[in-house]
């Protein structure tokens, strides 16, 4: 069973330190949620895990499958089995969802075997049809240009479809609920739940309890000031919904 182990992670954006010694372990089959107010470092964690060049790691390690992934390029991290669903997915006019997914899958295959000719089109079409049926998506979606003219909900569903096709071992969902109405939120959450299982570990990053009404985490963590300051079970998210973050701030200030 693979696990992502984050140890004492410190990250800067320019001269400003954002993450200040973060520790977290996520195993395949587990669903973790990180909650916290704006500016506390949640998205910084997500982008750092995937190797965004604007985020500089000054201290700490992130181990996955026995390797420190901070030494790997973003595409190498992806091939190792880590996936990031973006808060604001980018549109790619002229490239269909199906072509994008087939290109991504074939790039992975060729990284393993340079002589690989790629997934045969009939095999790819069968796989894509199965994944879209699992996620209750209209098959016409595959022929649309990626995120071009998509609603917020459609963009997030396209991210979940990518996750289904690429079959990562650890998936990071960066504020997947951002900008979604309740119906779109439910549909996206159902897609995540359909993919969850013993082979997939999930880290859900969110501000609000409402997403966790649909995606049920076993572990909930609260971030403040670039650190995880409180961890617990699902009841912790409910307590935050009722009480806000003031009690966490007070407790954290007493500790530091």
Q: What is the pLDDT of residues 148-176, one digit of tens each?
A: 999 988 998 899 999 999 999 999 999 88
All domains of the chain, ordered by start, with CATH? 3-92+168-255 (3.40.50.300)
- The residue to which tokens 């079409």 are assigned: 125
**H helical segments located in 32-151:** 42-50, 74-80, 97-112, 121-134
As a whole number, the mean pLDDT across the chain is 92
Asked if residue 200 has pLDDT above 80, the reply is yes
Report pTM: 0.91
**Band (184; pLDDT cuts 50, 70, 90):** confident
Quick one: pLDDT at residue 255? 57
Give me the residues paired with residue 83 across strands.
171
* Distance, CA of 48 to CA of 45 (rounded, Å): 5
CB 101 within 8 A of CB 164: no
**Band (196; pLDDT cuts 50, 70, 90):** confident
CB 220 within 8 A of CB 234: yes
Tokens for 189?
A: 């959450």
């Amino acid at each position: 069973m693979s696990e992502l182990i984050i140890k004492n992670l410190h990250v800067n954006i320019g001269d400003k330190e954002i993450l200040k010694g973060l520790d977290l372990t996520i195993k395949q089959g587990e669903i973790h949620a990180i909650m916290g107010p704006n500016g506390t470092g949640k998205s910084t964690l997500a982008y750092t895990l995937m190797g965004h060049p604007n985020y500089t790691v000054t201290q700490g390690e992130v181990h996955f499958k026995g390797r420190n992934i901070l030494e790997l390029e973003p595409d190498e991290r992806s091939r190792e089995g880590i996936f990031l669903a973006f808060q604001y997915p980018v549109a790619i006019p002229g490239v269909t969802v199906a072509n994008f997914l087939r290109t991504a899958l074939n790039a992975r295959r060729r990284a393993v075997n340079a002589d690989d000719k790629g997934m045969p089109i009939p095999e790819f079409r069968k796989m894509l049809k199965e994944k879209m049926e699992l996620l209750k998506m209209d098959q016409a979606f595959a022929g649309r240009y990626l995120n071009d003219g998509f609603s917020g909900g459609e963009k997030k569903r396209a991210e979940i479809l990518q996750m289904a096709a690429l079959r990562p071992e650890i998936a990071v969902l960066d504020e997947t609920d951002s900008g979604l109405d309740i119906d779109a939120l439910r549909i996206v959450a159902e897609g995540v739940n359909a993919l969850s299982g013993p082979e997939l570990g999930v880290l859900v990053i969110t501000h609000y309890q409402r997403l966790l009404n649909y995606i049920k985490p076993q572990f909930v963590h609260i971030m403040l000031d670039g650190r995880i300051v409180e961890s617990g079970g699902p009841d912790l998210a409910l307590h935050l919904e009722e009480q806000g973050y003031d009690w966490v701030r007070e407790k954290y200030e007493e500790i530091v």
